Structure 1
Amino acid sequence: MFRRTFWFTAGAVTGVWATTKAQRLVRGLTPESLAATAVNRAVDAGRRAKLFAEDVRSAMAERETQLNDALGLDRGSRPAELPGPRLKALPGRPKHPYTTYNRKEDL
């Protein structure tokens, strides 16, 4: 008698548990629930992307300060003068060593 009562109770508890789980799953798969989940995940992803961008900006500013200190550059001073204009390529010579011109004397 005790065995039958135990197994009947175990079966009833398992049935209630399975029914509850199935109902939660069905409620979670409705279009409204799926849309709400997608919106929540998109907002969370946007928030994480914003935090990442802020971290990158702060690290970039810190590294720029480190480089300026290492190079002896001061933000308040005038920038160094730019170098003069580059020399033009000599006529008749290719600009790049691997390029050739189709000249009549090459044929």
Structure 2
Amino acid sequence: MPNVSFFDEAGAPVATLDAVEGDKLIDLAQFHGLPLHWRCGQGTCGTCRVRVVIAGAPPLPVGRLERNVLLREQLIDTAAALSDAWPADGSRWRLACHVAVGDADLAVTLPSPP
């Protein structure tokens, strides 16, 4: 069972949760009352942004809808929007409603409240 560790932007721990493969990060955050802002939950508003680190993982697939939303919200540049896989090193924002837990532990950085 993978662990998902949530941190604030300063790096302080917020929570470490047991997760099931396939759980969406947005669902974990909502269910456990974590401080993650969101509006739609459908992957179109861009408010549930997080940074995800999976140690030693290969680049992760990123869907077209997620890339388009992040580009529209100016959270990524055009070069990133053209790539369908990104490093799992926390260097780019991801949408918590698009990121599903796999079989490895994750470290997730939550943005500061709006």
Scaled by the length of structure 2, what TM-score is found? Answer: 0.16
Mark the structure with the bigger radius of gyration: 1
Task: Answer 1 or 2: higher relative contact order, Cα 8 Å, separation at least 6.
Answer: 2
Higher strand content, 1 or 2: 2
Scaled by the length of structure 1, what TM-score is found? Answer: 0.17
